[in-house]
Amino acid sequence: MRVEVGSNPGEFMEQASSTKDGAKDYLYYRHKLPVRVMHWINVVALTILLMSGLNIFSAHPALYWGKSSYTGRAPILQIESTTDANDRMTGVTRIFGHEFVTTGVLGASRGLNGELMNRAFPSWLTIPDGRWLSMARQWHLFFAWIFVINGLAYVAYSIVSRHLSRDLAPTGADLRSIRQSIVDHLHFRHPSGEVSKRYNVLQKFAYLIVIFVLLPLVILMGLAMSPGFDSLWPGWVDIFGGRQSARTIHFIVAWLLVAFVLIHVFEVIITGVWNNLRSMITGRYRVDAEVGK
């Protein structure tokens, strides 16, 4: 039950304003149950993977490019703490040879008791809160399985149910409206009415890149760190620059996913936080007949 309306938001706004008086708000069934369930499983799994991953990273808070960590070249990123003669702790972050003092956030941060501690990432951002590599690995590897199974189920469902072809694949009209969509996003203008039922073109690209590029890449780079999986086809890890490069890519992609989530949540908030939240919980999305907010 899809109502075809102009996919160009500007075009739609004119249409909507002409019917403004007679139109009424109504609830539209936007997200089917499997998508809602898998979305929230993903939220939990990715959150725990990020936080336990940061704890694992803290066991050796340095990133390298290459097959090994000890190549004679300096790490590309290193987070550490130094202590001066007065026992004062400073957090230091080195990126490509540039040194930054990052006390309080990176290298040295305060625990619950308020004392500065030698921690790559602050304890409130890691699971578990303290340095506990074996436990962090348990969390990370358990939720990695949940995340992979959930992701495979999502892709299979999206293909079979045509969620992918119907809702996510950009249409010709979408592609023609990219420029307009960029302008709309930069002005925080978002469609209401019929057009708001569908994903806009930038949204579609963002989701497709996350689903088919970033998430598979972060999984693959995780597997590239496994000495077991590395023996599947000896040398495959070198395609990505070697095991230490894979570890670096894993770390970078994790933060790209955080960037995606920040933008995603920002868009959720400015386009009606409760309406969006409800649509991801009950499936019902209120289609506002009114133009603007």
Partner 1 sequence: MNPEQFQPRRRLFFRMLAGTGAVLVAGCDKLSRTEWFPKFLSNTEILTRKAQRVVLPRKSMAQEFEEKDRSPEFRSNGTAMPDNPQYKALAASGFTGYRLEVGGLVEKPAGYSLDELRALPSRTQITRHDCVEGWSAIAKWKGVPLTALLEAAKPTAAARYVVFHCADPMESDGTSPYYESIDMDDAYHPQTILAYELNDKALPVVNGAPVRLRVERQLGYKHAKYVMRIELVDTFEKIAGGKGGYWEDQGYEWYAGI
d(CA 267, CA 181): 14
* CA nearest to 215, candidates 8, 46, 38, 26: 46
Nearer to partner 1, 34 or 131 (CB): 131
The answer to whether residue 71 forms part of the interface with partner 1 (CB under 8 A) is yes
Specify whether the CB–CB gap between 81 and 115 falls below 8 A. Answer: no
* Contact track, partner 1, 262-281, x by CB under 8 A: -------x--xxx--x----
The answer to whether residue 42 forms part of the interface with partner 1 (CB under 8 A) is no
Specify whether the CB–CB gap between 79 and 92 falls below 8 A. Answer: yes
Q: 109: helix, coil or strand?
A: strand
The answer to whether residue 218 forms part of the interface with partner 1 (CB under 8 A) is no
The answer to whether residue 188 forms part of the interface with partner 1 (CB under 8 A) is no
Q: Please count the residues of the chain.
A: 293
Instruction: Give Dmax (Cα) for the chain.
Output: 76
The answer to whether residue 142 forms part of the interface with partner 1 (CB under 8 A) is yes
Specify whether the CB–CB gap between 264 and 273 falls below 8 A. Answer: no
Rg over CA atoms, the chain = 23
Minimum CB–partner distance for residue 248 and partner 1 (Å)? 11
Minimum CB–partner distance for residue 134 and partner 1 (Å)? 4
* Contact track, partner 1, 226-265, x by CB under 8 A: xxxxxxx-xx-xx----xx--x------------------
In a 13 Å sphere around the CA of 191, the CA atoms on its Cβ side amount to 26
Nearer to partner 1, 7 or 139 (CB): 139
Residues that bind partner 1 (CB under 8 A): 47-48, 51, 56-57, 59-60, 62, 67-72, 124, 127-129, 132-135, 137-139, 141-142, 145, 223, 225-232, 234-235, 237-238, 243-244, 247, 269, 272-274, 277, 293
